[in-house]
């Protein structure tokens, strides 16, 4: 049975190289989160969430710059 599609908009595949220690921390967090929820949580989900937070922060900072100038 294939995995359900979690992203409901166009996607792009990107190969990411990270440190083993970073991956292991994320894998433990994903495992713990999955135990507490009723859905699968993968390292990729955590990375995508972190990217969303980063991009939102950049957008907010850009908006602040526009209002200050």
**66 is a domain residue:** yes
pLDDT of residue 31: 97
Contact between residue 43 and residue 26 where contact means Cβ atoms under 8 Å apart: yes
**52 is a domain residue:** yes
pLDDT of residue 69: 60
pLDDT of residue 21: 98
**59 is a domain residue:** yes
DSSP string, 10-40: ----------HHHHHHHHHHHHHHHHHSSS-
Instruction: Read off the tokens for 31.
Output: 């495992």
**49 is a domain residue:** yes
The sign of the dihedral angle between the CA atoms of 14, 52, 50, 1 is negative
pLDDT of residue 17: 97
**57 is a domain residue:** yes
DSSP state for residue 62 in the 8-state scheme: H
Q: pLDDT by residue (tens digit) across 1-59? A: 677 788 899 999 999 999 999 999 999 999 999 999 988 999 999 999 999 999 999 99
Domain containing residue 54: 43-69
The tally of domains found in the chain comes to 1
**55 is a domain residue:** yes
**6 is a domain residue:** no
**48 is a domain residue:** yes
């Amino acid at each position: 049975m294939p995995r359900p599609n979690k992203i409901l908009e166009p996607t792009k595949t990107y190969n990411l190289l990270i440190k083993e220690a970073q991956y292991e921390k994320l894998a433990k967090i994903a495992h713990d989160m999955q135990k507490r929820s009723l859905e699968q949580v993968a390292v990729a989900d955590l990375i995508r969430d972190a990217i969303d937070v980063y991009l939102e922060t950049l957008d907010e900072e850009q908006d602040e710059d526009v209002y200050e100038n």
